[in-house]
Amino acid sequence: MADISAKMVMDLRNKMGISMMACKKALVEAEGDMEKAVDILRKSGAAKAGKKSDRTTSEGAVAASGRGAVSLKCETDFVARNEDFLKILQELAEEINKNGEEAAQDLFEAKKTELITQLGENISFGEGKLISGGDQVGSYIHSNNKIVSIVALTGGSEELARDIAMHVAANAPQVIAPEDISDELVAKEKEIWAQQLKNEGKPEQIIDKIMMGKEKKFREEGALLKQDFVKNPEVTIEQLLSQAGAEIESFVRIDI
């Protein structure tokens, strides 16, 4: 068996514009002969797929399996609703749930050329996330198949986790609690608020007090626990969890 170096694989990738995995496979089959490897890729349709790989992928769909969520991107909504596209997408979600995001990306790379050739569009891996912790897990996929969320709770029920996942899909919180908002992000916002208040002619002696109020509001708006529950705005997520004797451990959200 010929010794296939990383440089050979990279040279073929640069020439053909396709995945490293496909290039290495072709070089192994060609026993290190670059020209033969090119012919193998052309015959397999990989070369045509490579030409599509620079095209913009602004559409796509999402999927979930257990604790794993994933998005797969394409060029048109027509392909995003294709059965073969959705089948691969679900396989990727299942792979993330079992073996993590890196394994799912490897699986995608193995199927990418065939999928692009079959569907006639550029297809790209969007995001893959795996949730951790908790003993109750619930997921939600929005009806347009463009947003997926998963929530893990300690205590409560799967139904409660699913309801909060629906809330996460709708309200897109950044963190669980207000203190989880990064100080760097708050500092950046403070610079903007300070300038705005000066432009409005606010007296110096009350600017600090106003800034404290703005920071509190900013942190709470981005925190899941402080948001009003989408199905019942009379209670916050924090209150909802307290009523059920549950705690939120983690959540993920992916959208197209």
Per the domain annotation, does 215 fall within a domain? no
Query: 221 versus 53: which is more confidently predicted?
Result: 221
Q: What is the pLDDT of residue 40?
A: 80
Give the confidence band of 189 by pLDDT, cuts at 50, 70, 90: confident
Please state, rounded to an integer, the average pLDDT across all residues of the chain: 89
- What is the pLDDT, as a whole number, of residue 49? 54
- Are 118 and 88 a contacting pair, CB within 8 Å? no
Residues 33 and 70 occupy one common structural domain? no
Any domain includes 231: no
At 68, phi and psi to the nearest 5? -110, 140
| 182 within some domain | no
Specify whether 38 is located in the same domain as 97.
Answer: no
If you average pLDDT over residues 163-181, what whole number do you get? 96
Question: In terms of domains, do 62 and 126 share one?
Answer: yes
For the stretch 31-62, pLDDT in tens is: 888 888 887 876 666 655 555 555 567 899 99
Q: Greater confidence, 87 or 200?
A: 87
Is the domain of 71 the same as that of 83? yes
Same domain, yes or no: 38 and 80:
no
With respect to residue 10, please indicate whether it lies within any of the assigned structural domains: yes
We report the CATH number of the domain holding residue 61 as 3.30.479.20
- pLDDT number for residue 227: 97
Q: Do 102 and 74 share a domain, yes or no? A: yes
- Number of separate domains in the chain: 2
Outline where DSSP puts E strands in the chain. 59-65, 68-74, 124-130, 136-141, 147-154, 228-229, 232-236, 247-255
pLDDT of residue 17: 62
**Which of 165, 249, 181 is closest to 219 using CA atoms?**
181
* Percentage of the chain exceeding pLDDT 70: 91
The residue that leads in pLDDT, 188 or 167, is 167
Domain extent, residue 69, equals 55-130
Q: What order of strands is seen across the sheet that includes strand 68-74?
A: 59-65, 68-74, 124-130
What would the pLDDT profile of 88-131 be if each residue is shown by its tens digit? 999 999 999 999 999 999 999 888 888 888 888 889 899 999 99
27 and 94 assigned to the same domain:
no
